Structure 1
Amino acid sequence: MEFLRPSTLVEALEARSAHPDGVPIMGGTDVMVELNFDKRRPSALIDLTRVPELTEWGVDDGWTRLGAGVPYTRIIEHLSGRAPALAKASRSVASPQIRNRGTVGGNLGGASPAGESHPPLLATDAEIELASVRGTRRVRARDFYLSLRTTALREDELITAVLLPEATGPQQFAKIGTRNAMVIAVTSFSLALDTDKRAVGTGIGSAGPTPLRSEAAEEFLANEFDWEDGRPLAESVVRRFGDLVAAAARPIDDQRGTAEYRKHALSVMARRALSWSVTDYRKGSTRCA
């Protein structure tokens, strides 16, 4: 196995072009597990830890540009105000040691339906920056996930950044696991209210072959929510929202939970996230509950 260690983004893209079957590695929290258990044996590893552009974040024309190699710990420390749902999801990732190494770029590259970052990216209508020696393009998170562990990423491309729109309203993230910490989600849910557009975003994790949205729930809530004052919603509206979120799921039975339980849990999490959001909205807060 060849080990490549580029020190600039140009070198990294050239290495990726020359080794399309190679595996990029940053934190290594997923890749090294697969290597250690002999689940894959790539021809090359492309170590991206020395590429500075991947570890930076900043504000660009109203968007927060998050380098693909920024670890979860830094997201929690610096982006709780600008990306509340993603910061909340980052807090739920594994252990402090894993959060110090793991990255959203790695989560996207692995494309596990249970990845914590996927629901917030869907709910907030984030965009994924993909680069190659041919150029750079941006793909909406809603168009990024194609099928089980298959994404819009081309074989010669690297995930270089995530573009997060400004949080103009409350954002939430909830996750259910078989214990309180160090656990893969049985299922997860994210909700974002965009007060400027008067739009609702949802994201569902670990309840289908890919991360999902509930467009029916988004449209329903956008029409029912009181965007002027954020008055409490009728119980029937809250329950209907939860039912629509659950209906969008396509879960299976596995060792972590049954399909029936996942749908029930999503309905409960959706109702809770909506209640938290209404409370935050009335307080004029865009931070997580």
Structure 2
Amino acid sequence: MDFLRPASWQEALAAKAEYPTAVPIAGGTDLMVEINFDHRRPDALLDLNRITELREWETGRQTVRLGASVPYSRIMEHLRAELPGLAQAAHTVASPQIRNRGGVGGNLGTASPAGDAHPALLASGARIEAVSVRGTRMIDVDDFYLGVKRNALAPDELIRAVHLPKATGPQAFAKVGTRNAMVIAVCAFGLALHPDRRTVRTGIGSAAPTPVRARVAEDFLTAALADGGHWDSGRPPAPSVAAEFARLVAGAANPIDDVRGTAAYRRHALGVLARRTLGWTWQAYREQDRSPACA
């Protein structure tokens, strides 16, 4: 196995162009498990740890440009207000040691449906900055996941950053696992309220071949909130609305039976998570809205 260690971003792109089968490694929290258990034996590893810009972020007026290797612990510490859903998801990632090493770029590169970052990225509407010696392109997160552990990157492309809209409303993330730490999600769910557009977005993890949005559920809840005047009044949606939203979220999943849980359990759990996150985010929305109608 060859080991490539570029000192700059340009060197990394050149190496990836010359060795397109080389697997990038930064935190290594997913890849090294596969290598150590001999589940994967790549021809070459492309070490990105000397490229400091991948561990940096920029906060603009409307977006955050998050370097691919920014550790989850830094997201939790510094970007909780701008990216609350992703910060909540970061809290659930493995152990403190792994949160200090792993980053969103690794989750995206691996494209495992169980990656903790995916539901928050889908719910927020992220875009992935993919770069090669041929140039840069932006990939909507909705178009990024192609199949089980398959993504839309070309063989010579690397993820440089992820662009996420700054939260304009409450966001929430929740997952079900067999314990509170060092666990792969049985299922996970992310919800983001976008009061500036009066829409909602969702993200489902570990309950389909790829991370997915519950689009029918989003459309239903968006219409229900608008028709009921909830954005202006702050009144919580009726229990029947929450129940239907939960049912539609569960219906958007396409889970399997495996050692972590049955398909039926995953669907049930997703419905529970959908109701809970809707309650949490709407309560937060009421508390942050200071208009007289919500007093």
Aligned partners of 2:174 and 2:31: how far apart in 1? 26
Runs of 5+ consecutive residues of structure 1 not aligned to the other structure: none
Q: CA deviation at 1:61?
A: 5.1
8 Å CA contact 2:8, 2:50 repeated in 1 = yes
Shift of 1:139: 0.6
**Rounded Cα–Cα distance in structure 2 between residues aligned with 1:74 and 1:108:** 18
Q: Secondary structure at the match of 2:178?
A: coil
Measured in 1, the distance between the counterparts of 2:55 and 2:105 equals: 10
Note the 1:23-172 alignment, pairs <5 A: 23-60=23-60, 62-172=62-172
8 Å Cα contact 2:188/2:270 also seen in 1:
yes
Q: How does 1:5-20 map to 2 (within 5 A)?
A: 5-20=5-20
- CA distance in 1 between counterparts of 2:200 and 2:61 reads 22
Ranges in structure 2 where 5+ consecutive residues have no aligned partner: 290-295
Percent of pairs with identical residues: 61
Q: Quick one: distance in 2 between partners of 1:241 and 1:42? A: 43
CA–CA distance in 2 between the matches of 1:8 and 1:180?
A: 38
Residue 271 of structure 1 corresponds to: 275
2 CA distance for matches of 1:152 and 1:56? Answer: 24
Q: What whole-Å deviation, never above 9, does each CA across 1:69-111 have from its counterpart, x for those lacking one?
A: 1010001001100000000000000000110111110011111
1:4 aligned partner, one-letter code: L
| Partner SS for 2:46 | strand
Q: TM-score, normalised by structure 2?
A: 0.95
Contact 2:207 2:254 in 1 (8 A): yes
Aligned residue identity for 1:13: L
Deviation at 1:206, TM superposition (A): 0.3
Q: What is the DSSP-based 3-state SS (H/G/I as helix, E as strand, rest coil) of the residue aligned with 1:40?
A: coil
Q: SS of 1:3's equivalent?
A: strand
Give the secondary structure class of the aligned counterpart of 1:175: strand
Q: Return the letter of the residue paired with 1:243.
A: R
TM-score (norm 1): 0.97
Q: Cα deviation per residue 1:115-138 (whole Å; 9 max; x = unaligned)? A: 000000001111111000000111
Deviation at 1:60, TM superposition (A): 3.5
Q: Which amino acid is 1:25 matched to?
A: I
Equivalent position of 1:219 in the other structure: 219
RMSD: 0.9
Separation in structure 1 between the aligned mates of residue 60 and residue 9 of structure 2, nearest angstrom: 19
Runs of 4+ deviating beyond 3 Å: none
Q: Secondary structure at the match of 2:204?
A: strand
- Whole-Å Cα distance in 1 between the matches of residues 181 and 149 of structure 2? 24
Kept after mapping to 1: 8 A contact 2:92/2:180: no
